[in-house]
A and B are shown apart, each in its own frame.
Chain A
Amino acid sequence: MTPSLAALHGNRACALAAIAAGCRFFAGYPITPSSEIAEQLSRELPRVDGVFIQMEDEIGSLAAVIGASLGGVKVMTATSGPGFSLMQENLGYAAMTETPCVIVNVMRGGPSTGMPTRPSQGDIMQARWGTHGDHPIVVLAPASVQEIYDETIRAFNLAEEFRTPVIVAYDETIAHLLESVVIPQRRTVATVTRKFARGDEQGFQPYAETEDLVPPMARPGDGHRVHVTGLTHMADGFPTQKPDLAARATRRLLDKIEQNRDRIERTETFEVEDAEVLIVAVGIVARAARRAAQDLRSAGARAGLFRPVTLWPFPEQALIEAAAKARHVLVAEMNAGQLALEVERILGRGRVARLNRIDGEPIPPADIARSIREIAA
């Protein structure tokens, strides 16, 4: 059996990928420019005995998603900036309770209601730090419709494997871009399901410190004790404020992502081996940057592109390697400077320049090329 080629726009690809990954529950509240995901899943989920619920708001949406996941189902919600802000408290709850869930954030112009139909990359830092406290998070940033499909599946797999919320963040432009996508045969899609508790029910610890730092989850009704709390808790699930135990609990949450960076990080590089000028970008801007790098190359400049597909945890080592020969690094993004903060932290501010756009328009290749010529001059 061969894979099939389909013409899909980004949000449709996201919805179909969710089904292929095993998603069987979606709760959400419609918001431009993400609504097509909910619309599509309202039709697709009943066909696979799944559940679709339109909730009263985004707070309830993520709450319902967390509840369904705790029931043992693969879950997703989708939103945009204002809704994503409302989800932040429950996002932290999902991280603390180690509840696998996928949250799609289609980024539009902000802050607040902003420009609902215009693209933006203004949530790069909110996705990392939006919820309070030290928490683990995984954020994936696809740049094409094909990659929305592939990364949505990967988001489910990472959420399940590491019992953690995973955010898929992409801009309005690729959300509504129509491209040809290779849809793999369903049985060839590699899917991951979380570890459920097995064996002896007596003495079962719902947050046990296993070797991989990811405790097996008790499925309600199976017999193992279920204990879910947002309070800082010990291995048995009961709350603690003892300094050593509290630090240990939070440290495990962070370490299960930190120590698995090699499994989680994904990057794309283009012509970085000899690059004297390195562009760093995500989403639609990365595609403009790739074109700019091509154009600069054909004019004799050694330009390359580094694109973090996994946005958080930021692929730090991969960036250092890609920038090894770069005298200049340009961070191009549709915000006032967010990704640049991380790149500057890693590479130092000396050689990092910025190109920002906050008018609701994508950054075209020519602007990136011009910016490179200016900083290299």
Chain B
Amino acid sequence: MNVHVPHPHRAEIRLAGSGGQGLITGMHILFRALALEGKRAAQSQSYEPTSRGGFCYSDLVVSDELGDYPLATRLDMVAALSQVGLDRSLPLLRPGALVIVDERLTPDPPREGFDLHVLPILGRAVETGSPRIANVVALGALAHLGRLVGDDALEQAVRLETPAKYADLNLAAVREGLALVRGLGASTAEA
């Protein structure tokens, strides 16, 4: 059972940040991973007319119910890669929600009311090979801490949803994300 999801049949998950960070790709990976495990989801997004920058998010609603409302109404978890992405998602977060932020990109996270994890997401992405894979590092951490999907399914989905020539880089990124939070799962129950 997922400790973060009060309703067993519905989970609402967000990747938040700015345009160009790969937030939509990130959720496509998670959608695929869930599908590999036979779970049903809907993925939506909001973006601005600029191709880079601006407030952007990508949501995933996991639900057993066919035709369920596909947009987020009360987020169970968010991983944020920009302060504006975090700030504009806060009103939709349920109390005690899992909040994953980057230590540099989101300097002012909410210190109370949420299950907060400040992680060196961008740092690990750069060390692994590129700042552009921060989305996949964040996804690895989110999927593991949120107990959304098995590591194997997630890695398989990364291979399926990213360009072949970047598959190894993205796999390394998702493993970095998983490694960042491995062993931290128990703390989430305190939220």
Question: Could you tell me which A residues sit within 8 Å of B by CB distance?
Answer: 7, 32, 116-118, 144, 173, 176-180, 284, 287-288, 290-291, 362, 364-366
Contact = CB atoms under 8 A, between A and B. Distances in A.
A179 B42 contact: yes
A288 B69 contact: yes
A355 to B, nearest CB: 16
Interface of B: 27-28, 31-32, 35, 40-49, 67-71, 73
A178 B42 contact: yes
Contact of A287 (B27, B43, B69): B69
Contacts of A116: 49
A365 B73 contact: yes
A180 B68 contact: no
Contacts of B31: 7, 178
Contact of A32 (B27, B44, B49, B71): B49
A116 B46 CA distance: 11
Contacts, number: 49
21 contacts: A7-B35, A32-B49, A117-B47, A117-B49, A173-B44, A176-B45, A177-B70, A178-B31, A178-B42, A179-B42, A180-B35, A180-B40, A284-B70, A284-B71, A288-B71, A290-B67, A290-B69, A291-B68, A291-B69, A362-B71, A364-B73
Contact of B43 (A118, A178, A291, A365): A178
B67 A144 contact: yes
Nearest to A178: B43
A173 B40 contact: no
A176 B49 contact: no
B71 A173 contact: yes
Given A177-B43, A180-B35, A117 B71 contact: no
B35 A287 contact: no
A303 B42 CA distance: 25
A369 to B, nearest CB: 11
Contacts of B40: 180
B69 A176 contact: no
A365 B46 CA distance: 18
Going nearest first, the 4 A-B pairs with the smallest beta carbon separation are A178-B43, A291-B69, A179-B42, A116-B49
A295 to B, nearest CB: 10
A176 B35 contact: no
Contacts of B49: 32, 116-117
A362 B45 CA distance: 12
Given A177-B43, A287-B70, A364-B73, 6 more contacts: A117-B47, A117-B48, A173-B44, A180-B35, A180-B40, A284-B71
A174 B49 CA distance: 18
Contacts of B42: 177-179
Contacts of A144: 67, 70
Contacts of A284: 70-71
A290 B67 CA distance: 9
B174 to A, nearest CB: 19
Contacts of B28: 178
A86 to B, nearest CB: 20
